[in-house]
Amino acid sequence: MPSKGCQNADMNGRAGLKNASRARRFNGRRVLNAVFVCLILTGVWSASALGGGPEQVSVMLVCQGLGAQKSAEEIEYQVKAAFIYNFMKFTDWPKETMKEDSESGASGPSKEGKAVRKEPMIIGIVGDNPFGKAFEPLLDKKIKDRSFEIALIPGMGEYLKRVSNRKEAIDKYYEDYAAAFGRCHVLVYCGSEKNYLNEHLGRVSGRAVLTIGDLENFVEQSGMIGFVKADNKIRFEIHLSQAEKQQLKISSQLLKLARRVIQEKESNER
């Protein structure tokens, strides 16, 4: 029979494990609450504002797996990933950019006797990727009845280091990654690309691709949606005129949530 001292030690050990588990749950709830507060304050968690129920306002997925402690940066990019997911849900692309393949044996509604497979929507992350695994909780969801994928596209900086002539370096970069850029419905430009935005945005100005910037003054440089921080909250701005030039339609429901909307050279502060 265990001694009384061993029994006390065992009880103390169990109590310690229980307290540690309780502390982890508390920390997990605290992290979750912080994310929910952030989403509510930014408007993304408003079902009425986005015109739908839980399926439409699916940013709740960003909170899955946050029981373990996350760094502030990890939480920030999970929130931004949820924003991007919702930006896509409330943006319409021209029909010709939303490809479908007719294949026998494929799943989906029939088209001229053949099943239709809808190609996935592609989000291209351009430059030094800070998102890490932020999109993982969302990858089993669909956008416009399509799956979506993440494509990582290296930044332009390495090419400029290797080739002294800036134009030659840029031309070579876009030649090498033409196929990757061409597949994307969305391009997210990371902070590493801040010195090359004119070149980046100039190359896609004639295409129906949604450009999103994770850097300052993105919409001022004719990007479509730019993340900003205001009052210690993540917000976003929209350059509506640029989106319209590139044949994209952004829902008025999303425009209502933007901090600022640029249209015809006029800004609407929110």
Q: How confident is the model at residue 98 (pLDDT cuts 50, 70, 90)?
A: confident
pLDDT reported for residue 231: 85
The better pLDDT of the pair 266, 160 is held by 160
Neighbours of 216 (CB within 10 A): 13
Phi, psi of 264 (to 5 degrees): 50, 45
Q: What percent of the chain has pLDDT over 70?
A: 66
Q: How confident is the model at residue 96 (pLDDT cuts 50, 70, 90)?
A: confident
Residue 145, phi-psi category: left (phi > 0), alpha (psi -120 to 50), beta (remainder): left
Q: What is the pLDDT of residues 50-91, one digit of tens each?
A: 444 333 333 344 444 444 567 889 999 999 999 999 999 999
- In which residue are the tokens 């979750």 written? 32
Q: What's the average model confidence in pLDDT over 252-262?
A: 95
Q: How confident is the model at residue 268 (pLDDT cuts 50, 70, 90)?
A: low
Q: What is the pLDDT of residues 1-55, one digit of tens each?
A: 545 454 444 444 444 444 544 444 444 444 444 444 444 444 444 333 444 433 3
Q: How confident is the model at residue 101 (pLDDT cuts 50, 70, 90)?
A: low
Report domain extents, the chain: 4-269
Query: Of the segments 113-117, 158-162, 172-176, which one has the largest average pLDDT value?
Result: 172-176
- In which residue are the tokens 């800070």 written? 130
Using DSSP's 3-state secondary structure scheme, residue 84 falls into helix
Which stretches of 127-259 are assigned E, i.e. beta strand? 148-153, 186-189, 210-213, 225-230, 233-239, 249-250
- In which residue are the tokens 């280091």 written? 161
pLDDT reported for residue 112: 56
Q: How confident is the model at residue 257 (pLDDT cuts 50, 70, 90)?
A: very high
Among the listed residues 40, 55, 53, the one whose alpha carbon sits nearest the alpha carbon of residue 257: 40
Give Cβ neighbours of residue 208 (< 8 Å, ≥ 6 apart). Answer: 93, 94, 97, 246, 247, 248
Query: Of the segments 1-5, 159-163, 242-246, which one has the largest average pLDDT value?
Result: 242-246
The better pLDDT of the pair 97, 236 is held by 236
The better pLDDT of the pair 44, 255 is held by 255
pLDDT reported for residue 232: 84
pLDDT reported for residue 109: 52
d(CA 108, CA 113): 12
Q: What's the average model confidence in pLDDT over 229-251?
A: 94
Q: What's the average model confidence in pLDDT over 125-144?
A: 93
- In which residue are the tokens 């809808």 written? 118
pLDDT reported for residue 249: 97
Q: Checking DSSP bridges between strand 114-118 and strand 121-126, what pairing results, if any?
A: unpaired
How high does pLDDT run on average in the chain? 77
CA 219 to chain centre: 17
